[in-house]
Amino acid sequence: MSDTVKTEITNFAGIVGDCLIGVPAVGAVVAMGRMYVAWNEQIFISKIHAFLKEVKPDSETTERFKLAIADDKDKFFIKLWTILDKLDDDEKATITGKLFMKVLLGKCSIEDFLEAADVVQKVYIGHLKSLKRERLLGDNKRASNQSHRFQLIRYGLIIESEKAPQSDIHIKPADFSAIGKLISESI
């Protein structure tokens, strides 16, 4: 949709809205709608702020990134904006910012970043935090309960293995998937 059409629709909606505000019930609905839009903007700004706090590019990382996205710059930023908009927690925006910084530093590909950011957006923050505990405690002392482990396995962040003896009959040892390792290092 062109900017002109968007502007015309916005102007028309404003005129209609101003006329209907005089009707008490409609006025209340319009006021609540405006409040909702303002609230959503504040939440989005908060997520952007949390994301940007983690992104500290220098000239070298900026140039590397520009070269990496040269062909699909618009597509990449639309995906990034959409991912940030869908996040339900500022902590997830922080994790996503740390993941993005790995792209700038050349520690992960753009494709891995997009996949990891998509997983971060979908997984409950408590499960993500248990992923960090998995990494910090090492192979033999898993902190996650069955529910957390099931979700981590479900999203492909950890993979059950048979390499180590089981300390608990119900919990098998696990390895991190590549994306799981990338995310756990960013939490």
Closest CA to 40 of 95, 85, 93, 101: 85
Q: Global pTM?
A: 0.71
> Do strands 174-176 and 158-160 pair parallel, antiparallel, or not at all (unpaired)?
antiparallel
73 shares a domain with 22: yes
Give the domain extent around 145. 125-184
Task: Please compute the mean of the pLDDT values over residues 86-96 and round it to a whole number.
Answer: 94
Task: Please compute the mean of the pLDDT values over residues 47-56 and round it to a whole number.
Answer: 89
**Of 97, 122, 147, the domain-final residue:** 122
112 shares a domain with 55: yes
68 shares a domain with 10: yes
81 shares a domain with 19: yes
Q: Pick the more confident residue, 7 or 181.
A: 181
110 shares a domain with 38: yes
Task: Please compute the mean of the pLDDT values over residues 128-148 and round it to a whole number.
Answer: 67
71 shares a domain with 10: yes
- pLDDT above 90 covers a percentage of the chain that reads 24
130 shares a domain with 67: no
Closest CA to 96 of 75, 112, 72, 74: 112
Task: Please compute the mean of the pLDDT values over residues 5-24 and round it to a whole number.
Answer: 62
Please, which pLDDT band fits residue 25 given cuts at 50, 70 and 90? Answer: low
pLDDT at 168 over 90: no
Secondary structure of residue 171 in the 3-state scheme = strand
Q: Which range (116-130, 134-148, 173-187) has the least confidence? A: 134-148
pLDDT at 6 over 90: no
Number of independent structural domains in the chain? 2
113 shares a domain with 131: no
113 shares a domain with 29: yes
Highest-scoring range by mean pLDDT, 76-80, 96-100, 169-173: 96-100
**Of 76, 95, 122, the domain-final residue:** 122
pLDDT at 141 over 50: no
Rounded Cα distance, 158 and 178, in Å: 9
138 shares a domain with 64: no
103 shares a domain with 11: yes
168 shares a domain with 131: yes
Q: What pLDDT, on a 0 to 100 scale, did the predictor assign at position 87?
A: 93
**Of 90, 122, 154, the domain-final residue:** 122
